[in-house]
C-alpha cells in the first residue's frame, strides 16, 4: 500500500525550515511564544511538532544546540565490578542495529527513492544485499554519487522494502519506541573503511568520539588521518553516525552534509 506523504511532508518541511532558521539567526534566547508565532502554530502544536520528530521540547533543543559543551567528548569513568550489576547502565547501547558488510560483487541492479525528512530530503539506494547509500539531497545529488560509485550497475528509481525499512528507521531515530529489525548495509568500500564505520555504529545515541579515539580502538594510534578520510567517505548518513565524531578541542567540525546539520543532530541527541 502506497503511503501518502503529503501531510507529513508539510510538517517536516516546516520543522526543517524552522530548525535551519533557528541556527542561522542564532535564536539562543527564543521563547515558546515567539517560536509559535514564527511557525504560525499554537504553543501546544509547536511543542507537539518538535516532540513528534525530535523527541524533545523546542526550548530544550535550543539550549542544547547552543550549549558550549555541545561537541565535547565525554570521558567515561572506569567501571567497577559493582557497576556491572547496576541496571541504570543497561540503556547504554546503540539505538540502531546495523549489519555492515562489503559487497562481494558489484550489484547488477540498484534501486533508489527520495523520501521527505525533517532534516532534509533523503536519497536511499538499495541492492539485493542491503542499503548502499543514504544521503541528503540538498548537499549532494544522490543519483550522481551513486552512479559514480557503481558505474557498471543498472540504476533506476524504484521504491523497495529495504528502502522503506531504512526510512522507517530514520523516522524512529530520535523517538524510538520499539525495537527495529537489523538493517543490512551492503557497501562498496575498503576493509579499513568498514572497520571505522563499525566503530561508529557501536556508539550509543548522544555519545561523541574523536578520530584519535577511533584509531586507538582499531589498534593504531597513528591512524587518525586515515580514520578521518574513512569518516568523510561514509555513504550512509545518520545510521552510520559520523556526525558523532568531533574535534578533541570541542569544535563541531566539518560534515559532508553541512556543519549546520551536524550541529542540529548533536543538539537533538544531547
- Residues with active-site annotation: 242
| Residue 186 bridge partners (DSSP) | 101
Between vectors from CA 226 to CA 220 and to CA 230, what angle results, nearest 5°? 120
Residue 90 CB contacts under 8 Å (≥ 6 apart), including other chains:
none
Exposed / middle / buried, residue 196 (Cβ in 10 Å: 0-12, 13-18, 19+) = buried
CB atoms closer than 10 angstroms to residue 201: 18
Sheet with 130-136, side-by-side order of all strands: 98-102, 183-187, 130-136, 122-127, 109-115, 154-157
Going by the DSSP 8-state scheme, the letter that residue 47 receives in this structure is H
- In sequence order, what E strands does 18-128 have? 98-102, 109-115, 122-127
Per-residue DSSP letters for 200-258? HHTSPTT--B-HHHHHHHTT-TT-HHHHHHHHHT-SBTTTS-GGGB--TTS-----TT-
Q: Tell me the three cell numbers of residue 72.
A: 565535547
Contact (CB, 8 A) for 65 and 264: yes
Strand locations in the chain, DSSP E? 98-102, 109-115, 122-127, 130-136, 154-157, 183-187
Provide the grid cell at 161.
522494502
Amino acid at each position: 500500500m502506497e503511503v501518502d506523504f503529503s501531510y507529513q511532508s508539510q510538517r517536516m518541511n516546516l520543522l526543517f525550515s524552522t530548525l535551519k532558521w533557528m541556527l542561522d539567526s542564532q535564536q539562543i534566547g527564543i521563547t515558546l511564544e515567539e517560536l509559535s508565532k514564527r511557525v504560525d502554530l499554537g504553543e501546544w502544536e509547536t511543542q507537539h511538532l518538535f516532540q513528534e520528530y525530535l523527541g524533545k521540547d523546542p526550548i530544550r533543543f535550543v539550549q542544547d544546540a547552543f550549549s558550549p559543551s555541545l561537541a565535547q567528548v565525554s570521558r567515561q569513568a572506569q567501571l567497577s565490578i559493582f557497576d556491572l550489576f547496576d541496571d541504570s547502565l543497561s540503556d547504554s547501547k546503540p539505538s540502531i542495529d546495523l549489519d555492515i558488510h562489503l559487497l562481494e560483487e558489484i550489484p547488477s541492479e540498484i534501486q533508489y527513492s527520495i523520501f521527505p525528512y525533517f532534516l532534509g530530503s533523503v536519497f536511499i539506494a538499495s541492492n539485493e544485499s542491503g542499503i548502499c547509500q543514504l544521503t541528503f539531497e540538498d548537499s549532494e545529488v544522490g543519483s550522481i554519487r551513486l552512479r559514480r560509485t557503481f558505474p557498471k550497475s543498472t540504476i533506476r528509481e524504484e521504491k523497495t522494502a529495504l528502502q522503506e525499512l531504512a526510512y522507517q528507521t530514520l523516522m524512529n531515530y530520535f523517538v524510538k519506541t520499539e525495537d527495529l529489525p537489523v538493517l543490512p548495509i551492503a557497501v562498496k568500500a575498503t576493509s579499513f573503511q568498514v572497520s571505522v564505520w563499525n566503530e561508529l555504529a557501536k556508539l550509543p545515541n548522544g555519545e561523541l568520539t574523536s578520530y584519535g579515539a577511533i584509531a586507538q580502538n582499531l589498534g593504531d594510534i597513528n591512524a587518525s588521518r586515515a580514520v578521518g578520510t574513512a569518516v568523510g567517505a561514509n555513504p550512509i548518513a545518520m545510521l552510520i553516525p559520523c556526525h558523532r565524531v568531533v574535534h578533541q578541542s570541542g569544535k563541531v567540525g566539518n560534515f559532508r552534509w553541512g556543519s549546520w546539520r551536524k550541529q542540529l543532530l548533536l543538539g537533538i541527541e544531547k
